[in-house]
Structure 1
C-alpha cells in the first residue's frame, strides 16, 4: 500500500469521525439516535462535474429503502471505497433530515482535476516527447499534489544522474476552460550546465598513489585533457559507489582496515567541483590458516582448489568475496557455484575471521550444505507465438532433475540463440523453494521478438536496375500451412525456417527456396535442411543496353542436409552432412574466366561434412562470451580415377572447354579470327585424338566436375570492461584437385576483398570480406584457390532493445588470396583498419556501414589503397 493510499484511508477515517461528531449535534435537533438503524429515504450527490450523479450512487452500493446504521460501518466502507478510486480530493457525508424512521443523506465530493495538456519548456522537442512518455504525463491523468511532487522529483533526479546538479524544475497548472474540470500543466526545466569534477585530492595515502586511487573510482573522474571516453561529470549515487570501490582497491592490496575518514565536495565559482578525500590506510595483512567447516559433499582439498587462496598470500578481501560468490558472473568459478552446480541450491557459505594476530588473519569458511534440490515444476511464460513444445525441447532443466545452476544458465543461452525471443529480457525465476522437501520450481520468462525478416532492395548496377525481394520466416509452422486460422500473417510457432528469395535484372534472374526443420521427428535435435535454386544469366550486348537471350546459361541446384548434435566431446558440438547437385547448362556463352567453355553441360555432385561448435552467449546479435567454429570439407567423387581419360597432355583449361551440347569433349577447328568452323567438330577424348573413331570414344563423358574444398572459420568473444566485447576471428580456405593433370576447377573459388557480399554466386564462388579494399580486388580475375584472413573487432552496444539492436565497432583486419598452395604465404597479407556501426531490426535483419582504410596496395598498384566505404546488408553478425 502506498503512502498516499494510507493517507487517504486515515484521512477518510478522521473525516468520518468528524462527520459523526458534527452530526451528533444535529441529532439533538433532528432527534437522531446514534447507532440506531434507519431506512435510507434518499441520497443526494453534490459536487460532481465529470460523472453522472446516479453512477456515483450506484457505485456506493447504497439503495433507497435499505436499512443502515447512522453512523455505522456501511458508511465507513463507502468512504474507503470511494477513496480507493483515486478520483476525488474530498468526500463527505451529511444528514440532511430525518423523517420518523427514515434518514436522508447528502454525499458531497470534490473531483480531482484531469490533465488535458502538457507543455514543457527549456528543452528540445525530441527530449520533451521522451519526458512526457517516461514521466507518464498522459492526457486524462488525475492531477494531485503528490503527482506534481513526484514528477518534479523524477525530473530533478533524472538530470542529476546526467551531471546537471543545478537543475531547476518549476511546475504550474492552469485551468483549461475548454473542458470540464481539466487543467493544463506547464513544466519549465532549466538544466544549466553540467557540473564537472575539476580535481580529486587525496590525503593520508602513502601505500597507494593518487593515480591508483583515481583509477579505482570508475565513475567519478577529474577533468583531464584528451580523455573523451569517460566524462568528468559528478553523479552523487556513482560517487557513493566509488568510495566503496576506493576501499576495495586497498583490500585488494592487503589493507583490510583501510577506510575513508572524511570526504567533502566543494562547489567552485566556475561551475566545477573539487573533491577532497581523506583516507586511513592501516597495515598490510596476509592470509593465515583457512579451514572449511560443515562440508560433507566435498573434501577440504576440493574446496581449497576452487578457492585458490593459500596461506601466506597477501590478504585480498575482494578476491575472497568473489571466490566465495562472484556476483558479477552467473557462471563464475566460485564455491557457491560449485555447490549449486551439483544440486545444493540451499547451501550457505560464509567466510569468518577467527583470529587476527600481528599481520596474519585466520579464516573459517563455514558451510551449511542443506539438502540437494530437485526441480518440481518447470514452466514458461510470455510465449504468445512460439508453441510450448519448441521451448520445452530446448530446456536443460526438467521436473525431477537435480538442480544445476549451469543448466539454468545454459538454457538461457540456448533460448537466446533461437532468435525468437528478446535475449536481453530472458528471465529465469526460482519459485517456491522448499529447503525441507528439497524441491524448487522454475519459470522462464520470455518476451517474443520479431522472428521474420523481409528484404526489399532496389539499385542500379552492372548497367541496369537490380531488384531483390526476400522473405525469411525463422519460426515457421509448416503443419499449419493449410490452416486458414493460423495465418497471422503466416503460420508461426514451430521453430522451422522458410526462406524465399528473388533477384532480377535485365541480365539475370535468381530464384531460391530453403526449408529447415531443427528437430526432425520432434524427439532429438537432428536438423533437416533442403534448398532449391535456379539462376538464368543472359549475355549483354556490347553497349550493355540489351541482352541476347540466345546466349545464356542456366544453373539449377538442389541441396539436402542432416545435422546432429553430439554428446562428445560435449553437447555444443554438431556434425552435419549434406549432398548437393548443380547442373550447368551453357549455350553460346563465352565469358572467359568464369566458364572456360562456351557451349555444353557441366554437373557437380558434392558431399559436405562439417564439424562445428557454438557456445556463445547469450544474445546471438551481440555475443558477450564464448566461441564458435566450423571446419568443413566439400568433396566430389574423383572421376578422373575411373573414367579412363588421360589428362596428361591437356592444359588445365582444355579439360573443361570445347564441348558440344551433349557434354562431350570435342576438337574444334577455328578460322583466322578464332571463330569455330562448325563442320569440323569431332568428339574426342583429348585434343590430339581428332582422328580417333567417334564411336569408340564418344561414350566418355567429361562433364562431371571434381574437386575438394577445405574451410575453417573460428570466432572468439571476450567481455573486456563493462559492455565492451572483443571479437577475434580467423578464416582459411583451400580448393584442391585430385588429379593435377586435370587441374583445379574454375568453379567454387574464393574472391577476397570488400564487403563480402555478392549479388549472386553463379559458379559456387565465395565472397570473403576484407574491408578497406574494393570487392574481389585481392583475388585473381578468375578467383583464388586458397586464402586466409584474421580480424580483431572491438564492439560496444548502444542499445540492445527488442525493436532495434545497435552497436558500434572498431576493427583491424588482414588477409590475402593466392593462386596455388605453392604460392601460399600466410603472413603475406593485406592490412586494414576502420570503424563501423551495425543496426539489427527484426523485420529487416542486419544493416551497417564501415569506413575502412587499406594500408597496402592492391594488385598493380604501388600506393596504399586508402579509404573505402562498405554497406553491409543481411550479413552474419
Structure 2
C-alpha cells in the first residue's frame, strides 16, 4: 500500500507540469533571450501526436488544447492550452512538446477506482461514511474530490467531539490502470470541555452562566456524559441561549463578542472562553398606547396591558402585550390593525419607554397554507398550531408564533415556516417544511428509596400516536411493596379545539410495611382539560373506582379487620381541578407559582363522599440566581356523608409529603397494635433552599436545607380501639440535603431531625432516593 499523494493547488502532477511548462517556455522563448530585438515566436503544426490516452478521445484532448492543424499559434497560446489540459482533472500528468511541425502530447490518465474501503473506523461504520463521501467505485479517480472526502470524514468525527481525528487516503495499484482507494481513519479520543470560563460578566457568576449552557464541563462521570464534548453546532446554540438569558433580564445591549476554544497539546481537551459584553440592565419606563385610527379608543387598549413601569424590560413582555392587544382587536371586530411597539431609550435613568401604536396595516390575506415533509404526521396536526386559516388577514407575528409551536411539538427535527407572495400582491402563501423524527420510546428503569426499597419500571410511550399528535403511555412497575400498571392517553385537540381529552386507567396492588393488609385499587378516569385564562386551566372528569382489602393479619388492628370485612368499594362520580401555573409561562424568569384546587364527588355501594385536594407551590431564584427557594403547601380531605373511609382510601404521609418520618410514621395509630391507620385529612407546608456548596458544577452536586411542618388526622370509625393522635397535632422537622444529578438519574440524600413529634411516631433520620431510565 502506498500513501496517497497530497495535491497542492493545481493537482498531483503540479511539480512535473510546472517543469514541463518551463521547458516549453524556454524552448519557445529562446529568441527572446538574445540581445537582439524581441520577437514573439509562432508555430504552425501540420500534425499532432497524442500518446498515453486510453479512455479520453483525441478530440477531447485537442479541444482542451484549442489548437487546430495549420493554425498559427504563439508560444503563449500553446502554454495556455497546456494549462487547460492539465487543469481538466482528467490526467495524472501532461507533457506537451513541439517537434518541428508536429505537436507531441503525452498524457497519463488517472486510474479507475476499483474499490473503496475504510480502515480504523469504529465510531462511524462503513455505511455511514459511504454516505458522506463523493468518490464512487468504477469512476475515474479525482484527487481533489478525494481530499474533500477526507475533510468531510474528519468533519463528521469533529461533530462527535473528536477533534483529533485524522483521515489519510491511500491507493493500492492494480492491473489495467485500476486502483483500490483506502481511507485510513485515526479516530482519536473525544475532545472534552475541560473548562468553560467567561470574561466580562459582572451581574452573573461563571457558575450561573455555565448552568444556562447546553455544553457542560467534563466531570467525574465524563465517560457517561455526552454534553461535555466540543461540538461547534452546540457552541453556536449556546451563544443564542446566553443572548436570550440576558435579554429576558433587561440587558438589551448584551453581546457575545467571541467564543475561543483552546486545544490542549494532545487535542483531547478544550478550554472554552466566552468573551461577553453585558451592558446595563434596563427597566420599563412610561407605557402608553396611541392610535392613528379614528375609530379606536387607545384607553381601552391601555387597560388590557399587563406591562408596568418599573418592570425589568424583556422582549417577552412586549410580545405578550402585543398578543393581548391583537386579541382585543378581534373582540372589537377590528381588522387589519397593526400594533407596532416603539421603544425610546433613556440612558440617564436606564429605562425604556414603550409606546404601542395602533395603525392601519396592509390588506393582505392568507391564500393557503402548504405543508411538506410530513410522512407520518397528519396535516391537521400541524395546521391546528396556526390561529389563522385560509382567508384570514395575514399576521406575521402569529405565523412566527405558530412556527415556534410546531417546533415545540417535538415531532420534527427541523421545522421551517416561511411566507411568500401568492397569486396576487394582497395574497400570502405560508409554506411549512418539516423533517420528522422518532417520537416513540421504550424504557426500562429502576428506583430506590428507603421507604419502598428497590423498584423496577418499564414503559412504552408514543408522543405522536398514529401521526395524530396524540400521546399514549403504557407503564408497568414493581417493588417490594407495590405492583402497578397504567395506561394514559391524551388527545390534545379534541374536536379540533384547544380541548384535551384524557383517559387514565390504572391498577395497583399494595402491601405496605406499616399496614398489615394488602389491597387492590383500580381507577378509570376520562377527562377534558381546557384553558380558562392565560395561565389557568380547568379539568372536568368522570371517575370510577374499585378497591378491596384482603390478606389481613390476624394481629392487625380491629379497625383494619372491620374495614376488610366490608364489601369491596365500587364508586363512581365526577370531579374538577382548576390549576394556575406561571413557572414556565410567567413573565418573571426568576419566579413562578403553581396553584391547584380540585374535588371529586363520589357515590357507590352504601358510600357517598367528597375528596378535596389543594396544592400551592412557589419558587424563586435569589442572590444572582445562585440560590433556588421553594415553598409548597398541600392539603387533602375526605368527607363522607354516607358510609366511612377505609384504610386504602386514607392518606399516609411518606417522605413525598413530609420528610423525616417513615411512611405511616405519623397520624392516627392503634396504640395496642402500634399500627398506622391513616387519616382523612392532612396539611403540610414544606420550605426548601438549594444552593451550590463550592464543588465544580460539572459534578452536578449541590446542597440544600429544608423545614417541613404538618399534620395527619381524622377517622370516621374507631370500633372502640385505643386510637392515638386522631386529632390535629403538628409535627416539625428540619434537615439538610445533598443533590447529585448523575447520568443514571437524580440522587438525593436527606439527613433530618424532628423538632416536634409524638411518642409513637416513627422518625427517619436518613433517606436516599434514586431513579433512572435507560
Q: Distance in 2 between matches of 1:374 and 1:770?
A: 57
User: What is the 5 A alignment of 1:145-156?
Assistant: none
Structure 1 pair 777–726 and aligned structure 2 pair: CA distance change class (3 A): same
Q: Do the aligned partners of 1:575 and 1:612 also contact (CA within 8 Å) in 2?
A: yes
**2:770 corresponds to which residue?**
871
Q: Do the aligned partners of 2:44 and 2:101 also contact (CA within 8 Å) in 1?
A: no
Structure 1 pair 836–305 and aligned structure 2 pair: CA distance change class (3 A): same
* Secondary structure in 1 matching 2:677: coil
User: What is the 5 A alignment of 1:433-582?
Assistant: 437=426, 439=428, 441=430, 443=432, 445=434, 448=437, 450-455=439-444, 468=456, 470-475=458-463, 477=465, 495-501=470-476, 503=478, 515-518=489-492, 525-531=499-505, 533=507, 535=509, 555=520, 557-561=522-526, 563-566=527-530, 568-569=532-533, 573-582=537-546
* Secondary structure in 2 matching 1:856: strand
* Secondary structure in 2 matching 1:707: strand
Match of 1:711 among 607, 613, 616: 613
Q: Do the aligned partners of 2:750 and 2:768 also contact (CA within 8 Å) in 1?
A: yes
Q: Distance in 2 between matches of 1:375 and 1:787?
A: 55
Structure 1 pair 95–851 and aligned structure 2 pair: CA distance change class (3 A): same
Displacement of 1:709 after TM fit? Answer: 1.4
* Secondary structure in 1 matching 2:542: strand
Match of 1:746 among 635, 643, 647: 647
Q: Distance in 1 between matches of 2:732 and 2:658?
A: 11
Displacement of 1:872 after TM fit? Answer: 3.6
**2:681 corresponds to which residue?**
786
Q: Distance in 2 between matches of 1:386 and 1:495?
A: 10
**1:685 corresponds to which residue?**
none
Q: Distance in 1 between matches of 2:640 and 2:63?
A: 103
Structure 1 pair 468–69 and aligned structure 2 pair: CA distance change class (3 A): closer
Displacement of 1:28 after TM fit? Answer: 3.3
Residue 853 (structure 1) aligned with residue 751 (structure 2): yes
Q: Do the aligned partners of 2:52 and 2:107 also contact (CA within 8 Å) in 1?
A: yes
Structure 1 pair 576–807 and aligned structure 2 pair: CA distance change class (3 A): farther
**1:106 corresponds to which residue?**
107
Match of 2:665 among 757, 777, 792: 777
Q: Do the aligned partners of 2:449 and 2:769 also contact (CA within 8 Å) in 1?
A: no
Q: Do the aligned partners of 1:777 and 1:859 also contact (CA within 8 Å) in 2?
A: no
Displacement of 1:580 after TM fit? Answer: 0.8
Q: Distance in 1 between matches of 2:578 and 2:543?
A: 18
Q: Distance in 2 between matches of 1:587 and 1:170?
A: 65
Residue 28 (structure 1) aligned with residue 60 (structure 2): no
Residue 632 (structure 1) aligned with residue 598 (structure 2): yes
Structure 1 pair 733–176 and aligned structure 2 pair: CA distance change class (3 A): farther
* Secondary structure in 2 matching 1:69: helix
**2:635 corresponds to which residue?**
732
User: What is the 5 A alignment of 1:530-679?
Assistant: 530-531=504-505, 533=507, 535=509, 555=520, 557-561=522-526, 563-566=527-530, 568-569=532-533, 573-584=537-548, 586=550, 590=554, 591-592=556-557, 594=560, 596-613=562-579, 628-637=594-603
Structure 1 pair 572–458 and aligned structure 2 pair: CA distance change class (3 A): closer
Q: Do the aligned partners of 2:449 and 2:767 also contact (CA within 8 Å) in 1?
A: no
**2:380 corresponds to which residue?**
389
TM score, norm. by length of structure 1: 0.50
* Secondary structure in 1 matching 2:63: strand
Displacement of 1:71 after TM fit? Answer: 3.3
Structure 1 pair 572–400 and aligned structure 2 pair: CA distance change class (3 A): farther
Q: Distance in 1 between matches of 2:564 and 2:286?
A: 83
Displacement of 1:713 after TM fit? Answer: 2.5
* Secondary structure in 1 matching 2:641: coil
Higher strand share: 2
Displacement of 1:106 after TM fit? Answer: 2.8
Gaps of 5+ in 2: 1-6, 29-40, 68-77, 125-129, 136-144, 174-178, 209-215, 218-234, 254-278, 330-334, 669-675, 693-699, 716-724
Q: Do the aligned partners of 1:732 and 1:789 also contact (CA within 8 Å) in 2?
A: yes
Q: Distance in 2 between matches of 1:513 and 1:307?
A: 41
**1:51 corresponds to which residue?**
none
Displacement of 1:499 after TM fit? Answer: 1.8
Structure 1 pair 67–529 and aligned structure 2 pair: CA distance change class (3 A): same
Q: Do the aligned partners of 2:737 and 2:750 also contact (CA within 8 Å) in 1?
A: yes
Q: Distance in 2 between matches of 1:726 and 1:78?
A: 77
Q: Distance in 2 between matches of 1:498 and 1:840?
A: 23
**1:133 corresponds to which residue?**
none
RMSD: 7.5
Q: Per-residue CA shift, 1:515-564, capped at 9, x if unaligned?
A: 55555566773515252637497999x9xxxxxxxxx9773635242x33
* Secondary structure in 2 matching 1:371: coil
User: What is the 5 A alignment of 1:313-328?
Assistant: 326=315
TM score, norm. by length of structure 2: 0.55
User: What is the 5 A alignment of 1:125-136?
Assistant: none
* Secondary structure in 1 matching 2:647: coil
Displacement of 1:573 after TM fit? Answer: 1.8
Match of 2:712 among 787, 809, 818: 818
Displacement of 1:819 after TM fit? Answer: 0.9
Q: Distance in 1 between matches of 2:398 and 2:707?
A: 35
Displacement of 1:751 after TM fit? Answer: 1.7
Q: Per-residue CA shift, 1:62-87, capped at 9, x if unaligned?
A: 656779634359x9999999989xxx
Displacement of 1:829 after TM fit? Answer: 4.0
Q: Distance in 2 between matches of 1:359 and 1:523?
A: 46
Gaps of 5+ in 1: 34-39, 46-56, 120-127, 131-135, 160-167, 201-212, 222-228, 231-236, 257-280, 478-490, 543-551, 640-702, 755-767, 798-805, 842-846
Q: Distance in 1 between matches of 2:285 and 2:460?
A: 62
Q: Distance in 1 between matches of 2:112 and 2:292?
A: 65
- Higher RCO (CA-CA < 8 Å; seq separation 6+): 2
Q: Distance in 1 between matches of 2:762 and 2:567?
A: 43
Q: Distance in 1 between matches of 2:541 and 2:285?
A: 58
